Amino acid sequence: MVDFSLPRESIETVVGPLSEEQAVLLTAYGQAILRASRQINVVSRRSLGSLGEHFVDSAAMLSFADPCQGSLGDLGSGAGFPGVVVAIMRPEASVTVVDSRRSKIVFLKDVKRRLGLENVTVVHGRVEELRGHMQFGLVVARALGSTKAVLASCLRLVAPGGELVLFKGPLWGDEIEGVRVVAAQEGAEIVRTRTITLPGLDRATTFVAFHVKQTTDE
């Protein structure tokens, strides 16, 4: 059985000190993933041995975007990355985790209950079906596949004046021009990017922020 050790030093390198309560909750969350993985595919089997990477990657987003200025929607949350990590590290933030897979929703609801995460809302649904039902000041998407394929649906869940933040890998540069076109069609534009080398890991994440323009009444 794989064990989980919180990569606390790496997390603190990117976002600053954790309280003891936060460290305890993050550790309990990692252990919950391992327990659940005995029965269901919470994360890929390959990821279980490097689970700490997901925690560092999720935490790094907090050095790029502030979830505390309004509600945060984590689309395609899966096991809860980055939404659950954000909820623990920023308890003042209101976090909604969204996923279309029932097994992941059952797991997320159990994590919310066990860890007492009152600032988390769990929503079962497909991203493209949620338009008109909810909007967020900040939307994040970490693992939703092809950016061009999902970008419009994600942007439509961002409140006017809000932002969408995507987690991207080393091939981001190959997508950027096509993505700009889709964003413009949705009244959005890329406003900043930042590549963060993840401490203790041999990789980096590029965070890309899209600003959704304010609508004006005629």
Q: Per-domain residue ranges for the chain?
A: 8-212
pLDDT band at 146, cuts 50/70/90? confident
At residue 217, the pLDDT reads 45
Tokens of 151: 């970008």
Report the alpha-carbon distance of residue 195 to residue 202 in Å, rounded.
13
- Classify residue 42 by burial, with Cβ atoms within 10 Å: 0-12, 13-18, 19+: buried
Q: Which of these, 200, 190, 218, lies nearest to 53 by C-alpha position? A: 200
Span 10-26, mean pLDDT?
96
- Which residues, 6 or more positions from 100, have their beta carbon under 8 angstroms from its beta carbon? 76, 124, 125, 126, 127
The residue count of the chain comes to 218
Identify which has the larger pLDDT, 175 or 216. Answer: 175
Among 87-91, 130-134, 181-185, name the one with the lowest average pLDDT: 130-134
Question: Is 216 a residue whose pLDDT tops 60?
Answer: no
Q: What is the mean pLDDT of the chain?
A: 91
CATH superfamily of 8-212: Vaccinia Virus protein VP39 (3.40.50.150)
pLDDT band at 218, cuts 50/70/90? very low
Report the alpha-carbon distance of residue 23 to residue 46 in Å, rounded.
24
Span 37-59, mean pLDDT?
86
Report the alpha-carbon distance of residue 178 to residue 148 in Å, rounded.
7
Give the tens place of pLDDT for each residue, 128-143.
899 889 999 999 999 7
